[in-house]
Amino acid sequence: MKILSPVAINALKEALIHIYWFKNDLKSFLRKSFPNNISLGDFDFGNYTKRDFVNILIDRLFELNKSDELLKLAQDVCEMNSFEHLKHLDNSEIKISNAKNSVTQLKNLIKPYQENQQKEIIRQQKQKENQERINNFKSYQDELDRLKFDFCELHKNEITPQQKGFKLEKIMNDLFSLDDLDPKSSFKVMGEQIDGAFTLNNTEYLFEAKWTTQPINKANLVIFEHKVKSKLENTLGLFLSINGFSEEGLTAFQAHDKVVILMDGSDLMAIFDGRISFTDLIDRKKKIASREGRIFVRYFEMIN
């Protein structure tokens, strides 16, 4: 905190002298303004005049480098807009005029300090937000790395494709949770098995995940399309096939209504490698499908 200049210190003294006529009133004001670490008991009013006491008090605080406390006191003084408590005194008009003028003078002098203080508050807040953002990013990245590890481990495990599919569903559900997409894990509706669901930009998505040795054909896509179409009109589908889709299946399915967008294992690795977020990938896939009618565009094709 920047130290108040001698001119500002003198203006503060003058304001304190004039805003209250009686020493006890001034003492009460000071007690309310000062923090707990400053006790007026350390500064005896004794037989000092009000002016002498204010000079001793403020000079002592200045010597103790109580810059924050002095600035707060000055700000509290500057908040005084009414001087009704001086009206009953003799020569009240002069006393009120002196009080107003001294407070106005102090306001003009501490305005730069208040602006610097506000800038410092904003700087500290931004610093805090940046640190929180860094911490959140680290937490996010740690979780993403864990999901990537689990996914890569599935390539090594000698388990059936169906078992890999079940574990893949869990990984994807965790990814949806990581991106705050209000996910729902595997469920059944009217006898239909749904691998999962999530919400992105106010659009509901049904999710299907397949880990097969061969690329997915048209039949699998049509079955999933039927599940999507049986839901509300704004529902879309996301079909993830780790080993992609057959050319014949894609060509045939491309002519259908565009309610399903597709992704494969290379798209998933792009997410795990941090090249694009899941939400951005789906948003770009959706835009391409809406504008160009293409429901399967891999991430590396988007950037080339």
Q: Which residues pair with 208 in a beta bridge?
A: 239
Domain 157-303 bears CATH identifier 3.40.1350.10: yes
Q: What is the largest CA-CA distance in the chain?
A: 102
Query: What pLDDT is recorded for position 267?
Result: 97
224-253 confidence digits (pLDDT tens): 999 999 888 889 999 999 999 999 888 888
Closest CA to 275 of 139, 144, 142: 144
Low-confidence ranges of the chain (pLDDT < 70): 1-2, 37, 39-46, 188-191
Query: What pLDDT is recorded for position 131?
Result: 84
Q: Are 151 and 272 in contact (CB under 8 A)?
A: yes
Query: What pLDDT is recorded for position 1?
Result: 53
Cα 95–chain centre separation: 50
Query: What pLDDT is recorded for position 260?
Result: 94
Query: What pLDDT is recorded for position 158?
Result: 80
Q: Are 77 and 16 in contact (CB under 8 A)?
A: yes
Q: Write out the two tokens for 90.
A: 């003799």
pTM summary value:
0.59
d(C-alpha 184, C-alpha 101), whole Å: 67
**Would you kindly state where each structural domain of the chain is located, as residue ranges?**
6-121, 157-303
Query: What pLDDT is recorded for position 33?
Result: 85
3-state SS, 87-127, equals: CCCCCHHHHHHHHHHHHHHHHHHHHHHHHHHHHHHHHHHHH
Query: What pLDDT is recorded for position 244?
Result: 94
| Residue 229 CB-density burial (10 A; 0-12 exposed, 13-18 middle, 19+ buried) | middle
